A = this chain, B = another copy of it.
């Protein structure tokens, strides 16, 4: 057994206790399998498995392990900052500031070296410059659209979302995976034709 301080393990356990709260941060997207909203922990789990399943469609070679870790922690800041609905223009204005403050607090619960490592991974996701961040972002935008398509556009219609907003929202999927962008674009066109998603 390595000589590790009791304090280090205690900090790690406190972090694991703190992030339990992610299970209570509700998103606007509904589950496919039940008529209720999804929470951030469920969403993060779903993205991680989606990364395992869809990795072959990344535009560029990716370190899959890094993508999985990224999506597992990408929404932790919402424990403090809350979920900003992706079509909420007002909420988007101070989103970054709120999330940076949340990152300051949350990652500081961990031992310093791990806190730095987690924050770096989250910052990489937010900056969206690397192949891993682009693919992670593609999954993050693909999954809620899939949920909407499989629930007859339930959360789109509840919030009055139209095709033009969805098209803009999914555009970055192409940066991470042209294949997934083509696939979801075709389904969106079909949803519009079927009247599930309205035009402006």
Query: B-contacting residues of A (Cβ < 8 Å)?
Result: 1-2, 4, 9, 12-13, 15-17, 19-24, 31-34, 38-39, 41-42, 44-46, 48-50, 52-54, 56-57, 64-65, 68-69, 72-73, 110, 114, 143, 146-147, 150, 178-179, 183
CB-CB under 8 A from A143, the residues of chain B are 16
- The residue in chain B whose Cβ has the minimal distance to the Cβ of A39 is B42
A24–B36 Cα gap in the complex (Å)?
10
Known: A17-B146, A23-B34. 11 other contacts (CB 8 A): A1-B178, A1-B179, A9-B57, A9-B179, A12-B54, A16-B54, A19-B46, A19-B49, A20-B33, A41-B41, A42-B45
- Return 9 A-B CB contacts under 8 Å, by A number: A4-B179, A16-B50, A23-B33, A23-B42, A42-B45, A49-B73, A52-B69, A52-B73, A64-B65
